[in-house]
Amino acid sequence: MGWVTNGDDRDTTIGELAELAAPFDALYASLWTQSHVPADVLELCRLRLAQLHRCAVELQRQEIAIPAGKTAHLAHWDTGSLFSPAERACLAFTEVYAMDVQALTDQHADAVKMHFGDAGLVLLVEALGILDGMTRLSLLWQLAAAPTQPPGQLL
Amino acid sequence: MTGGPRAVNPNNPSGNMIRDSALGLVPETLDYYAALNRKIWECGPLTPSEIEIARLRNARTVNCVFCKSVRYDIAKADGLSEDKVAMIQDDFRGSDLSKREKLIVAFTDQFLANPRGLTEQLKTELLAEFTSKALVHLSLVVAHFSGFSRCAVSLGGMPDELPIMEISLPQ
């Protein structure tokens, strides 16, 4: 259980304020059904954010099923050929976004646009804003990871 | 700051700040984004001036020139003055901000700088001042505006400086 509410996860914590939970849920759901960036690419970016924030509860979350080989090697996406050029462009953008958004360059953006266009870049930064924010809140709310699903291999 | 914007919305301006921005390139999320933005301002227990304090503290830290230059009219109508905005600085703890306002700034800083490092003292002070609903509202305010300002920075084309601009809540 976190300290902000009696809820023990993100949904029940945000659910404390139903007037905002419904529009937030609708926006969050729309990220995974839009047509500009594949949902599995977004999921890789979400998991990479969780790794960089060392957030166990967000590493346990699964929005989209990702092959185990990819999750196991996600921290080393830039070596080998397991990840596609499009995935690599988005993961490179995600890493800089997470560390210092001011350090993003036109080259980072162009690499994403090469695969997904202007709209794909916009969707990616919109999604990263939401995913980064939720990861930070999971940490700040001190939500606990489920004990039966150790996230160690991803950390 | 960079040169030009990294994504451009080629559609004719509608007068709606969010729809005319690059976010308008992604219609699948646009209405949901705008709806959440309105609800954040209108439907939580925090007052508009309290929301604006958190939003401006975030804008200052993320260094989003656009976000820093904006003042929402509903926050000004709620009593947020430029004198109070000027207190949202590094030395805010010694300012004339109220205890509640200082806690809003401290919570925003914790989210931005070290979300895993919340101290027992700050947690105790927050729980003594805010209801659970208010803490959830404050959390979503900070997360929402952090994402918005990082989005604006990521998409480039940000000028070095802008004058203060008063705006209304986009429809």
The model's pLDDT over A72-102, given as tens digits with 9 standing for 90+, comes to: 999 999 998 999 999 999 999 999 999 999 9
Q: At residue B117, what are phi and psi to the nearest 5 degrees?
A: -110, 25
Q: At residue A149, what are phi and psi to the nearest 5 degrees?
A: -125, 75
- Nearest CA to A40 out of A48, A27, B24 is that of A48
What residues of B are in contact with residue A34 (Cβ under 8 Å)? 26, 28-29
Chain B contact for A148 (CB, 8 A cutoff): no
Residues A106 and B6 sit within 8 Å (Cβ to Cβ) = yes
List chain B domain ranges: 36-167
- Nearest CA to A48 out of A8, A103, A87 is that of A87
Q: At residue B71, what are phi and psi to the nearest 5 degrees?
A: -125, 125
Per this entry, what is the length of chain A? 155
CB atoms A20 and B155 under 8 Å:
no
Distance CA B74, CA B48 (A): 6
CA–CA distances in Å: residue B59 to residues B1, B143, B152: 15, 12, 10
Pick from B35, B133, B156: CB nearest A23: B35
Chain A contact for B25 (CB, 8 A cutoff): yes
Count of C-beta atoms within a 10 Å radius of residue B129: 16
Question: Do the interacting molecules here have an ipTM over 0.85?
Answer: yes
Superfamily classification of domain B36-167:
AhpD-like (1.20.1290.10)
Distance, CA of A8 to chain centre: 20
What 3-state DSSP class applies to A6? coil
Which residue in chain B is spatially nearest to A15 when comparing CA positions? B136
Chain B contact for A153 (CB, 8 A cutoff): no
pLDDT at B154: 97
Residues 6+ apart with CB under 8 A from B23: A122, A126, B9, B29, B30, B33, B151
Distance CA A136, CA A113 (A): 27
Which residue in chain A is spatially nearest to B112 when comparing CA positions? A136
The model's pLDDT over B13-67, given as tens digits with 9 standing for 90+, comes to: 888 878 888 999 999 999 999 999 999 999 999 999 999 999 999 999 999 999 9
Size of interface A-B (CB pairs under 8 A): 154
Residues A78 and A92 sit within 8 Å (Cβ to Cβ) = yes
How far B171 CA sits from the closest chain A CA (Å)? Answer: 15
Angle between helix A106-140 and B99-113 (nearest 10): 120
Angle between helix A18-31 and B27-42 (nearest 10): 160
Give pTM, 2 decimals: 0.95
pLDDT at B1: 54
- Nearest CA to A137 out of A41, A11, A43 is that of A11
Question: DSSP class of residue B94?
Answer: G
The model's pLDDT over B124-143, given as tens digits with 9 standing for 90+, comes to: 999 999 999 999 999 999 99
Which residue, among A6, A9, A90, A101, would best test binding to B if mutated, counting the most B CBs under 10 Å from its CB?
A: A101
Please identify every stretch of chain A with a pLDDT value under 70, giving residue numbers as ranges. 148-155
All domains of chain A, ordered by start, with CATH?
Answer: 10-140 (1.20.1290.10)
Distance, CA of A87 to chain centre: 13
Is A108 exposed, middle or buried, given 0-12, 13-18 or 19+ CB atoms closer than 10 A?
A: buried
pLDDT at A78: 95
DSSP lists the bridge partners of residue B166 as B71
